[in-house]
Structure 1
């Protein structure tokens, strides 16, 4: 299970104010730094993306980002810069396709949303998610956030990061990653699954945040059919989930689950009279 990198957390002096007065403290903060991905072309390196992220697991972050943005080439080489730890280099025979995506703005945003932008544009790159396997018991999904929280050491230290985890259909946590950005945490865990060559069609993605469009978009692009979120779902996230047949569960807390799409994948309780 990947742990929190040593450089993911830093301590700064601060003042804590309360009803009892003011005190000087040293507070733990989640680190946030830019990662620049440079695509090498026959001419010059081209800045492909700048991602604001928590340092660590950069290779997984880049792999998941390429996958979820529809830019993943069949053959590639990734390497960190010799001098700057916040710069990575990408070499691929498909540099022209990736460069075209960069010029169209696919990779210009650090928010994880720009470059897809709409259900219609997403549909060009992804198809409906098939329904397979036995139905998932809804109480199993209700327990996933608690398991994810137990795998968040950086959150326990700072209270300032999100997490994303991948679970099996039996509720086993395979891996969890943390980051200041919920989209980055999602890219990291999807990149991990990519490197492990897992069958993503049998997995469940759980996020500690709300279920925004970018989370659902990344799940659709990666072929993960079920998303569980601790927070609320946005209207566009629900529309996207319904359009692609993704099972979307939000407000998953205190033993409760709100299902917005894809209920056919779940073993549901009896309806109330």
Structure 2
């Protein structure tokens, strides 16, 4: 686990000034390099970077299967960290073709895609037989904070967790909500975990990008502690996904896929 940064601050309360020590989350540039070519630089929390790189590669369509990633090495220098990946020649050719139509990268979200067709791709409807317990949803939301150690220390990190039968099986943190989700999705894919046998809880809102990333990899349900956007709901409906927002220990809002909740 990454060690947080300690810094001296001045705390103001009722007009008085008091020197204190505070804890800050680390945020550094992470370059994702494919077959020797740097493709994108993400600002991220420097932990679980192999999962981040794999999850990003899959959710962005750079890879369509884990088997297309042949090797991954993490290298550090004074400026940041690079994740060096060797991918199949076919996927590298597709990546180079994609780069010709891109204007830049933002480090998260839609990542500089300049085509509306590319930004809003068709997402296939999931074939689902799963059912999600109402109790398991509220139980997982109650336990999420216990799996966010860095957030407890710093107050500034997002979390994404995988839940099976109400129990959090894996959780990842990052300064960026997209990064936290990519880390989780990378972990699930690397370990060949059945994405229909559980659901995801995120400590953020449910934006289009978050829902699209989960749907692209076949996740049937996303639970967010904050609201969903209108586009996120439309994508969830298109994907036959259960999308839940404003999740609290005893209540939540169902935007789509209510028929899968029992």
What TM-score, normalized by structure 2, do the two folds share? 0.90
Mapped to 2, the partners of 1:232 and 1:225 lie a distance apart of: 18
Aligned to 1:153, which of 141, 145, 149? 149
Matched, 1:57 2:48: yes
Matched, 1:112 2:105: no
Q: Which runs of 5+ in 1 are unaligned?
A: 268-273
- Matched with 2:183 is 188
Aligned to 1:144, which of 137, 140, 145? 140
Mapped to 2, the partners of 1:154 and 1:242 lie a distance apart of: 34
Aligned to 1:98, which of 95, 100, 110? 95
Q: What displacement does 1:235 show? A: 1.1
- Matched with 2:60 is 69
Q: Let me know the Cα RMSD of the aligned residues.
A: 2.1
Mapped to 2, the partners of 1:210 and 1:82 lie a distance apart of: 32
Q: What displacement does 1:82 show? A: 6.2
Aligned to 1:234, which of 225, 229, 238? 229
Aligned to 2:208, which of 200, 213, 225? 213
- Matched with 1:78 is 72
Mapped to 1, the partners of 2:160 and 2:102 lie a distance apart of: 26
Q: What displacement does 1:224 show? A: 0.5
Whether the 8 Å contact between 1:69 and 1:106 is mirrored in structure 2 is no
- Matched with 1:223 is 218
- Matched with 2:238 is 243
Whether the 8 Å contact between 1:48 and 1:107 is mirrored in structure 2 is no
Q: Which runs of 5+ in 2 are unaligned?
A: none
Q: What displacement does 1:203 show? A: 2.3
Q: Give the direction of change, closer, same or farther, for the CA distance of 1:106–1:237 in structure 2 (3 Å limit).
A: farther
Equivalent residue runs for 1:115-126 within 5 Å? 115=113, 122-124=120-122, 126=123
Q: Give the direction of change, closer, same or farther, for the CA distance of 1:66–1:228 in structure 2 (3 Å limit).
A: same
Aligned to 1:129, which of 126, 129, 135? 126
Q: What displacement does 1:106 show? A: 9.2
Q: Secondary structure at the match of 1:220?
A: helix
Q: Secondary structure at the match of 1:251?
A: strand
What TM-score, normalized by structure 1, do the two folds share? 0.86
Q: Secondary structure at the match of 1:86?
A: strand
Mapped to 2, the partners of 1:213 and 1:118 lie a distance apart of: 14
